[in-house]
Copies of this chain bind each other. A is one copy, B any other.
């Protein structure tokens, strides 16, 4: 037998999914459900908290509880890295995402800080450096309007970027073409990438920075970017609000038996 608050939450969730409660619509007031015999205030509130954690509703003091508008997922495919965009055009990858999803781009939606730091373990490993070696960290917080969507921190080896505008401490985006263009101009043309993804619970500072709802998870993305000769020129860590993104990858089915012998 499921607890009373869970049963109430499931009942309301069902009505939301069926459309009986439409997005934007008010859910019953907690005190009304108490009066209607659904349980004590704590019990009904526990159900509402579960619904909020599941992203179905948002509550606010003084207003009430309304069914959330489900923002469509932003779909991230490998086409966002298309060389034609940052080499020949003026787009950077994160803008390309937005163009692809039909959203308008506005200036001032990205903040950036550059610093020179000792490499954290995963960064050192990705770059093949000893732990604690110094690297440049370029941290961005990307927003869509007022709403932060993800953070992205790129780590570069000093010898690859020293003297370029990528490590110019002046605030602001990396400029025309973005980071890959700067590397290209410096003689490092990116060739292939690896992306690794997993979901986890956000850390307290991420909840604040990304304005996450209570109970909302994040997806962490590790992107390693190589030149044609296998040199790692960028390792980046992204933290994305889990409910706002989907990732898409196209690939050939591998066939190790068909590979040329070495």
Interface residues, chain A, with chain B CB atoms under 8 Å away:
10, 42, 53-55, 73, 75, 78-79, 81-84, 87-88, 190-201, 204, 215, 217, 219, 225, 242-243, 245-258
User: Which secondary structure dominates where chain A touches chain B?
Assistant: mixed
Chain B residue nearest to A204 (CB atoms) is B10
- Which of B53, B245, B254 lies in contact with A83, CB distance below 8 A? B254
**Are B196 and A257 in contact (CB-based, < 8 A)?**
no
CB distance from A215 to the nearest CB of B (A): 6
Chain B residue nearest to A240 (CB atoms) is B199
**Are B194 and A250 in contact (CB-based, < 8 A)?**
yes
A194-B250, A215-B53 given; A255·B200 CB < 8 A: no
**Are B194 and A219 in contact (CB-based, < 8 A)?**
no
**Residues in B neighbouring A10, C-beta threshold 8 A:** 204
A84-B255, A248-B194 given; A199·B215 CB < 8 A: no
- Tell me, in angstroms, the Cα distance from A153 to B142 when the chains sit together: 36
Chain B residue nearest to A217 (CB atoms) is B217
- Tell me, in angstroms, the Cα distance from A88 to B255 when the chains sit together: 11
- Tell me, in angstroms, the Cα distance from A258 to B191 when the chains sit together: 13
